[in-house]
Amino acid sequence: MMLRDKFLTAGLFLFTTLSFAQSVYVGKYNEISHTSLDSANNAIFVFFKDYYKKIDLETFMVDSVKIVVDPQFEFMGAKPVLVNSNYYFVHNAGGIVYKLQNDTIKRIDNSFNHKMQINSNIFVYDDKIVRYGGYGFWSARNFFTYFDTDLLEWEALSPVNSKEVPKGTFDGLYILDKDDAYFFNGKSIDDFNKTEMYFNNEVWKYDLKRNKWHFLGISEMIDLTNLAHPISYKKSLLVLYTNGMSIIDLGNNKHTKFKHGKYSYNVIASLNHYFLNDRFYFFYFREHNSNVYFRNASENEFIGEFISDKPFYSNYNLLKGSFSLVAGLLLTALLVNFGFRQFKKRKKIVLLDNGLRYQNKFVEFDHKAMEILRLLVSDEAVSSHKILNIVEESQYSPTHNERIKVQKLDEINLKIKTILGFSEDIVQSKKSNNDKRIRIYLINKNLFFYNKKTT
């Protein structure tokens, strides 16, 4: 009889523990900086100003760990990224990277805050931190970079097997499915008005293993204003709206809408939520105050009744390809003929590998001068730092390298003025509108016939 009572008592304790484990207090809303999922260790991390909490997803036990933070570090300006059980914090705009080492957040990169990849997509592939796109200097990126943990620098990934590439985007959505990364719902910059941005409704897939882009089609835009952060759900993306939710499956080109489930309407929009091992894990308010709680729910509890489904994007690749082939052949023939006549008519400066040709004149430049010229002709404006990177020699002091830069620009100006018969310098400089400490250089591009394939 006593043994049976012991079993009943133990069973009641286990039932009570599991029941209460479905919800746990996290902290005050305005004190939470970031949340992150550690799927390998079945845990959620919640970062605060000088400590973090680790929530075990099996037991819902919470461990609080004090951390020491670099005075220059700002949680809100960085995204936590987990690689091989190591936490990195990647700056949202530039190349700065911090790492959590022995309960201390330290800066580890050899980069700088270049502010050229604002609101880029940041994810992990092949145990590397990868980022795609981003905004900066009135333009949007359309390439990948990854953080080399040996060199502690950012390197570029080149789409070497691609015949076409997307227009640069930022502030978009992505889905990572093994070696395939899908990008959509981003913003781009108008080619003719650099202060204007627009929603880019193209859907692209990038094969990270073969380094190859593939255009999928055109989709409707998803307005994420005031909506909760999308949840990575299996091989799809789950987007929560006020009156329901959508599941976007780009691998199967499927857009499915559902009603809210028992718990999905109550998540905190500004925090990240997760799906792991057939369960949703999310943060919510209780009793309309600033106290944040964390709980889990099954798929049936989180996803409500089916409403509808349809293709997410319009696929016209076959028609586009056929049209592009015919149009491309005709356009090539016209451009070759038209371009040759226009080139002779305009009498522009031609950039060669080893110098410039203007009419029947040729002036020779070394490879560093040619690299500077290509940079000036291809960009709207070039910072002094970029030109220094081309000419500087490690054995010289910064002052001496600055002198070499000035001499190289003087040489370029003198030779081009001579061949053109001009009196004014071709390469002009001024202070940056954004930062008066930075000097930028510009060139009159109308003087040049420039083929970008030579770069």
Residue in 398, 314, 424, 379 with CA at minimum distance from that of residue 139: 379
Q: Do 353 and 440 fall into the same domain?
A: yes
Q: Do 288 and 402 fall into the same domain?
A: no
Q: Do 297 and 358 fall into the same domain?
A: no
How buried is residue 117: exposed, middle or buried, by Cβ count under 10 Å (0-12/13-18/19+)? buried
pTM here is: 0.66
Q: Which of 296, 314, 332 is the last residue of a domain?
A: 314
For residue 179, the SS3 value is coil
Domain annotation covers residue 205: yes
Provide the CATH number for the domain around residue 354.
1.10.10
Domain annotation covers residue 321: no
Q: Do 209 and 298 fall into the same domain?
A: yes
CA 175 to chain centre: 13
Dist CA 223 CA 237 (whole Å)? 14
Q: Do 50 and 175 fall into the same domain?
A: yes
In Å, what is the CA distance from 338 to each residue of 262, 344, 428, 446, 447? 65, 10, 32, 18, 18
In the block, tokens 């050229």 appear at 116
Q: Do 207 and 289 fall into the same domain?
A: yes
Q: Which of 314, 331, 357 is the last residue of a domain?
A: 314
Residue 4 has a pLDDT of 43
Could you tell me the mean pLDDT of each successive run of 10 residues in the chain, 455 residues long? 42 41 87 95 96 96 95 86 95 94 94 93 97 95 95 94 96 96 96 93 97 96 86 96 94 96 93 96 88 96 97 74 59 65 68 86 90 88 90 90 91 89 87 84 83 51
Dist CA 124 CA 88 (whole Å)? 11
Q: Which of 272, 289, 314 is the last residue of a domain?
A: 314
Domain annotation covers residue 76: yes
Q: Tell me phi and psi for residue 59, to 5 degrees.
A: -105, -15
Residue 17 has a pLDDT of 40
Q: Do 115 and 250 fall into the same domain?
A: yes
Q: Do 299 and 398 fall into the same domain?
A: no
Number of domains observed in the structure of the chain: 2
Put the strands of the sheet holding 43-47 in their side by side order.
Answer: 34-38, 43-47, 51-56, 62-66
Provide the CATH number for the domain around residue 295.
2.120.10.80
Q: Do 269 and 382 fall into the same domain?
A: no
Dist CA 329 CA 31 (whole Å)? 60
Tokens, residue 34: 């970031």
Q: Do 364 and 245 fall into the same domain?
A: no
Give me the domain span that covers residue 291. 23-314
Domain annotation covers residue 329: no
Q: Do 367 and 264 fall into the same domain?
A: no
Q: Do 193 and 240 fall into the same domain?
A: yes
**Neighbouring residues of 203: CB distance < 8 A, sequence distance ≥ 6:** 182, 183, 184, 215, 216, 217, 218, 219, 250, 312, 313
